[in-house]
Structure formats: C-alpha cells, structure tokens
Structure 1
Amino acid sequence: MAANLPKTMQGQFLEAFKQPYVLRTVPLPKPTTPNDILIKVDAASYCHTDFVLAEGQMPPFPSSFPHVSCHEFAGTVVSHSSSPDSKASTFKIGDRVGVPGRAFHACETCFECQGSKDPVSQDEKGYSVYCAHAENNGISKDGGFAEYAIVDARQLAPVPDAMTAVETAPLMCAGITIYAALKRCQIQPGDRVGIMGAGGGLGHLGLQYAAKMGFKVLGVDAADGPLKLAQSLNTGARIADARSEKASDIVQELGTEDGKKEMEEMGIDAVIILPESQAAFDYGMTLLKSHGKCVIVSFPEKGFQISARDVVFRDISIIGSLVGSNRMLREMLNFSAEYEVRAIAKSYSLSRLNDLVEDYHKGGGGKLVVDMALTE
C-alpha cells in the first residue's frame, strides 16, 4: 500500500566526523521487511547524542558514511506492507506517528525481546527497546534529518490529535527519556525530586512532568539561559543556581520547610542527573536524604566518580535510565497531550540544520527542531 511518492528525497548527511552536515538528493528508501513503514518526516529534533555521534564519540557508530542522523522525529505514514502478519497493518496511510530511535528490527527472540525482568520499561513479548540485536534510527541506521525515513511499525506511537509534529518530535527521545527516569525514581506524589540540568532539553520537560505527577520539584542549573527558561515555565518548582547556592544550604532549607530535625532525613527523595558533569553529580548526591535514589541519564566519556560512603553509610541507590518501552512511549504522549506538557522549541528548515547545530552550542536551553514545513 502506498501513496503517490517521489523517486528522490533530500536529506542532511554526515560525510565525516567533526564536519558540517551536507544537503544531498538521494533515492527514496524502500521497505525491506513486513514491519517496515515509510513515513514522510514532518519534524525532526536535535539531541545531544547527535552531537556526540558527529564528534566520533560513539564507536562503532555510525558504521559508514554518508549517514542521516536524528533519533527523535515525527511523520506521516505514506507506505507499508499490507500483510496481515505485519505490525505495519495496524497503521493506515495518513496516520501521524512519533518515532524514537530505538529499536529498529528488534530480533524477537533474545532475552530482552522475550521479556526481561525490567519492572519499569517492559514491552509485549516479542519486542524490546533494549534488544541488543536491533538497529537504531539516526545512530546505526539513517534517521530523521531527511524528507522520508524507513521505520519499524513496532517502535511507533500514534500522535494525539492535540499535538503537532513539531511538538511531538522532541518527546521521542528527550520526553520519553526523562519520563522514564521519573518513573524509575519510584517516588510518590508529595515526595521531593531534583533535576540536575533543569533548563536543558530533557530537564525543562522533566520539570513539567514532575509537577504534573504531583511531586515537589527542585530544578538545578548553572547557566543563565537554561535557568531563565526553567524559571519561565511557572511549574511551581524551586529553581536553584548551582553557581551561587550550595547544595548543603538547600538541604537545610528543605529540611526546615519539612519540619525535619535530623540531617539524614533532610533533602530530596530522588535526583536525576542529566549533565555530563562530575560537579553536577556531586551536587545532586549532596541534595539526597538518606535512602534516596540517584537516577543517572547522562554518560560522560570518563564516567562519574562515586563515593562508596554515600552508597554504604547513607544507603543511596544509584541506577541508570536509558529510555522507556513502546508502551511507556504511548503513555507519555497521552500524558503530554492531557496535561499540556510541551517542549520550548525553536524551529529551522531542513536546509538550515547547520545553523541549528551552531545555535545548539550557544546553550540557550530547550529544544531545537527541524520543521519540514519551513522552506527557509
């Protein structure tokens, strides 16, 4: 099944590490398996991982050049298999879908696909975003910085009517990643959660999700632009400037507010670490009360130094969080539509992708998105 399609498309290609993207015209990609769907990309969002990949810091990816990046995008179904055994048949031509990078062509048979024991991010048997044999749009295979893309029907989420493609695209990585991290905190409404890097792409979405989930929220950042963005959201979160406020002073402040007398019970119940910074990690750990949970999302090249004293004597749990399942992706999108959680985003045409990257390095916070409807 297919709409009337062109024979070629434009895409922005990486042709070497540490080089600008190059706009090229190439043949339209074609589905190769029954689960494949061809979509017309409507919006594609830029992620820090796109920068890491382009710098050559994610070996062995990409495995070859030229390469189309972007693992958080949204589009419209234009062609798919009509086979009744295909998951593609659950989507119709014209359906609007959100596309996360993971997991393209999951194997269906490995430990993860057959149902791992992850209690937070688990899909139906036969598919897993953690499948070690799967590819990933924008990382190991081509992604969303092009007019069309091949995606796996099993990785998609229907876009709610209340949301546009530009609003949806940033949620396909930033949104699901911070949503899943909040779920991994395993705290209850009224508990305190801290977000290190609160004004960035994930962080400012996390402030909104956490507030709508009923948590008491502390957002921390260390740059003027992101702090201004975090404060502008009016989520009710306490926003702290790590450059001028000590974590220990904030712990005392929150302890007084909560009527606590012992230092061990002062502070926050969970913290999410988004920056690739040891200083941010240490600040977040200081904020935690005893028995708190530290959820790590970032993965700096040299890792983090962890205090055994925090883990042993304060009983701090440290866990990682990558992404959420397809089930959680759909839950997150519906939550976003219902509670009007939106990324603060700036849009660019596909031809201006290198301008987008240049603006990304200025560190203004929020998300930067390619809107395919723009021509300049």
Structure 2
Amino acid sequence: MGSIDIPQTQTVALVRSLGGEVEFKTDYPVPSPGPNEVLAKVLYSGVCQSDLHTKAGTAAGSDGTPITNIKLPHVGGHEGIGQIVALGPGITHTAGIKIGGLVGIRFSSRICRRCEFCLAGVEQHCTSSTNHLHHEDGSFQQYIALDADYLTVLPDDVDPKVMGPVLCAGLTAYKAVLNANVRPGNWLVVVGAGGGLGHLAVQYARAQGALVIGVDTGAGKADFVRGIGAQEFIDFAKEDPIKRVHEITGLGAHAVVVTAGNAKAFAHACEMLRVGGTLSCVGIPPGSPALETPICTIVIKGLRITGNLVGSLKECMEAVDLVRRGVVKPVVKVRPFKDLPQIYEEMEKGDIAGRIVVQLTE
C-alpha cells in the first residue's frame, strides 16, 4: 500500500442500530484499497441533518416510507475532505489522482456510468448507485476507500476546513438556486437562511445576482443572515413571513428555496410566490409529510415546483470553485470528532448557525 505508514485499525463513530447511540470504536479495520480504489486519510467532515436522520432511523425514501436498507453497523458522514495515502492495484497518477492529493467524500459513492441518468449527466439519480450515507461507511472515520472512477478530485489550494460542507450542503444549495431559474434582480426567499444549507443558498443566490430575503428565527440570526448578503431578514416567530414578503416584493417572490427540514417551513411557501414563481425544495422533514399547497394555487398562479437531490459531479466542482475563489464563504465551526453526539443534540434543537465541521485528524 505504499511507503506511507498506514495503521491497521482506526477510530470511527459507529451506530449499531437505527435510533441507537453513537459509539466511538477505536479498533475498526482500516480498509485496503481494491482495484480502481484509493485510500484517503480523512481530515475533516461536515455534519449534515441527513446524518442525524439516518442515525435516528427517520430518513425517508422517495415514496415517503422509512429507508430500511441502511448498512449496519453504520458509519455516517458524507461531507468529508481527505488526503490520498495509497492507490489500489492498477491505479496510476493520472487525471489528478496522486498521493497527497485532496479528495472529497460525497453523498454519492459509486455509479454505473451506463444508465439513462448517468449518460444524461444527472448521475446522482443513477439507478444502481450507492452512497456514503446508507450503503457504505462514510467520513466519520479516519481512513476511507473511495472509487477512483468517480473520485471528487479537489484543487490543491482549497481550504480543507471549509470545503467539506460544500460537497453536500453547498452543492444542494447551489443546485436549488440553479433550479429556481432566477435572473439578476429577481427576489429569492431562503427559508431556513441561517442554517447550514440556508446560509450557503443565500450566498449562491447572491452570486447569481438575486435579491435575497432570509427567513429564520433565533438569537443573532438577523445579523448573521444580513452579514452574508441578504437584503432583508424576516423573523417568522415575530411577523407573518407571507405578508412581509409581499410588502417587500410587491407581487411576491420570483422563487422560494426551502432549506429547513421542517414541515411548517413548506406549509405556506407557495403563498410567498408571484405568478410563474418557483418553489425549490431542499429540506426533507422527518416522516416526509405532504406539501400543504392547494392544487388550485399551483394551477392558477402557474407555479413550478422542483426538488433537489444534491447534484452532479460537474455541478459539485462548480460549487467548489465559487468557494475557492471567495465568491461564497461557508461559515463553519471546527470541533473535535468526540463532540459528534453533542452536535447531533444541538442540531435537533436548531441551535446551530452555519455548519459544524469535525476534525478527524490531529
């Protein structure tokens, strides 16, 4: 496996059963990279709401029922940044793959590259795909084997501390803004604007030239959201967001991006929109409740409703580049790996602004 000293065992954050507690296991085997694989040492990993839902057993599939085909014991994490330490058999230093190079550990782990969706460049919907959230051990471990044929090779000059959340939260927010089809000067509302996804959606929308209204609640959220570029902030606990959006925009917003994983956040989102507006859905509430919007509202106003499951590798690299060039600046707080159970508790309470990143390697 090369000249770099690689241990036989490692520390991982293990969940033995859905709904169970996080256990730090210190003697978990370090994988050996197989053909068309690389071994990466995980440096940092963002912590996503999807990690929390999967651990809790509340993650839902496209039909709204709980996902049951989750690998157990489960090692979560899908916003990781790693450094290549070994190459599997047959791998050469080509296409940017090199010892010491930075790579991303994303939601999508392997694709078939042959189905209709892969051929169309929307491989996140691959019919034979696997991911690091449900099927393979993710980035809450110190070493990980990755598919070299679908590797997220990162530029050498990125900041590994901030880039992890860009691979999921950032990519999803970027995709949601693209699907909102906003033009420069259009009004775009971000519901959940102070959260890990929302604060990135605000900035990606600003990068597209949109005028952003942030909706959220909590101490310090107004200053935080305005500080990252929102023109207006609405505290939904203190005022009616629908009424206020129409006061600000006149006819209603051109688009609403809902990043909050709460059913109430979706309940009246369409009422914020003007004729021909777009609702871009991101957050997935536990239990996957139905969208509470009358069909007549959708028909009469000619609304567009779109969902956003992360994005393609190409879109991921576009989202990364905007951060690398300083156009978008993720707000992250780095904490020790051992804090993961506490971070989950804080996420459940909604006490986190921006994104939390855990440090896997001292």
Distance, in Å, in 2 between the alignment partners of 1:340 and 1:250 is 26
Alignment pair present for 1:307 and 2:294: yes
How far residue 89 of structure 1 moved from its aligned partner, in angstroms, is 5.9
How far residue 251 of structure 1 moved from its aligned partner, in angstroms, is 0.7
Equivalent residue for 1:100, pick from 97, 106, 115: 106
Letter in 1 for 2:209: G
- Match of 1:368, SS state, is strand
Distance, in Å, in 2 between the alignment partners of 1:281 and 1:267 is 16
Equivalent residue for 2:309, pick from 298, 322, 346: 322
Alignment pair present for 1:109 and 2:103: no
Distance, in Å, in 1 between the alignment partners of 2:169 and 2:146 is 19
Deviations 1:249-284 (A, max 9, x none): 3313322xxxxxxxxxx1211111122334322332
Letter in 2 for 1:177: T
- Match of 2:13, SS state, is strand
Distance, in Å, in 2 between the alignment partners of 1:180 and 1:365 is 21
The answer as to whether partners of 2:42 and 2:361 remain within 8 angstroms in 1 is no
- Match of 1:129, SS state, is helix
Structure-2 change in CA distance of 1:108 and 1:236 (3 Å): closer
Alignment pair present for 1:338 and 2:307: no
Aligned residue in 2 for 1:260 = none
Distance, in Å, in 2 between the alignment partners of 1:105 and 1:277 is 30
Aligned residue in 1 for 2:63 = none
Aligned residue in 1 for 2:21 = 20
Letter in 1 for 2:259: L
Distance, in Å, in 2 between the alignment partners of 1:237 and 1:371 is 34
Aligned residue in 2 for 1:293 = 278
Structure-2 change in CA distance of 1:245 and 1:160 (3 Å): farther
Distance, in Å, in 2 between the alignment partners of 1:355 and 1:249 is 36
How far residue 351 of structure 1 moved from its aligned partner, in angstroms, is 2.4
Distance, in Å, in 2 between the alignment partners of 1:70 and 1:61 is 18
What is the TM-score with the length of structure 1 in the denominator?
Answer: 0.86
Distance, in Å, in 1 between the alignment partners of 2:199 and 2:146 is 28
Alignment pair present for 1:81 and 2:88: yes
- Match of 1:327, SS state, is helix
How far residue 205 of structure 1 moved from its aligned partner, in angstroms, is 1.0
Alignment pair present for 1:67 and 2:77: no
Equivalent residue for 2:205, pick from 210, 213, 216: 210
Structure-2 change in CA distance of 1:166 and 1:202 (3 Å): same
How far residue 11 of structure 1 moved from its aligned partner, in angstroms, is 0.8
The answer as to whether partners of 1:99 and 1:155 remain within 8 angstroms in 2 is no
Task: Please give the residue correspondences for 1:267-282 in structure 2 after superposition, counting only pairs within 5 Å.
Answer: 267-282=252-267
The answer as to whether partners of 1:100 and 1:156 remain within 8 angstroms in 2 is no
Letter in 2 for 1:277: N
Letter in 2 for 1:106: I
- RMSD of Structure 2 on Structure 1 (CA): 2.1
Distance, in Å, in 2 between the alignment partners of 1:339 and 1:239 is 23
Distance, in Å, in 2 between the alignment partners of 1:242 and 1:276 is 15
Between the aligned residues of both structures, percent identity stands at 27
Distance, in Å, in 1 between the alignment partners of 2:270 and 2:170 is 24
Distance, in Å, in 2 between the alignment partners of 1:249 and 1:113 is 42
Equivalent residue for 1:219, pick from 191, 214, 217: 214
Aligned residue in 1 for 2:34 = 32
What is the TM-score with the length of structure 2 in the denominator?
Answer: 0.90
Structure-2 change in CA distance of 1:110 and 1:39 (3 Å): same
Structure-2 change in CA distance of 1:71 and 1:224 (3 Å): same
How far residue 228 of structure 1 moved from its aligned partner, in angstroms, is 4.5
Distance, in Å, in 2 between the alignment partners of 1:13 and 1:227 is 36
Aligned residue in 2 for 1:199 = 194
Structure-2 change in CA distance of 1:220 and 1:39 (3 Å): same
How far residue 286 of structure 1 moved from its aligned partner, in angstroms, is 1.7
Letter in 2 for 1:237: Q
Distance, in Å, in 2 between the alignment partners of 1:369 and 1:143 is 14
Distance, in Å, in 1 between the alignment partners of 2:112 and 2:236 is 44
How far residue 236 of structure 1 moved from its aligned partner, in angstroms, is 4.2
Report the number of matched residues: 350
How far residue 47 of structure 1 moved from its aligned partner, in angstroms, is 0.4
How far residue 38 of structure 1 moved from its aligned partner, in angstroms, is 1.0
Aligned residue in 2 for 1:118 = none
Q: Give unmatched runs, 5+ long, in structure 2.
A: 60-65
Structure-2 change in CA distance of 1:33 and 1:177 (3 Å): same
Structure-2 change in CA distance of 1:29 and 1:185 (3 Å): same
Distance, in Å, in 2 between the alignment partners of 1:217 and 1:209 is 10
How far residue 324 of structure 1 moved from its aligned partner, in angstroms, is 1.1
Structure-2 change in CA distance of 1:249 and 1:67 (3 Å): closer
Structure-2 change in CA distance of 1:80 and 1:110 (3 Å): same
How far residue 215 of structure 1 moved from its aligned partner, in angstroms, is 1.0
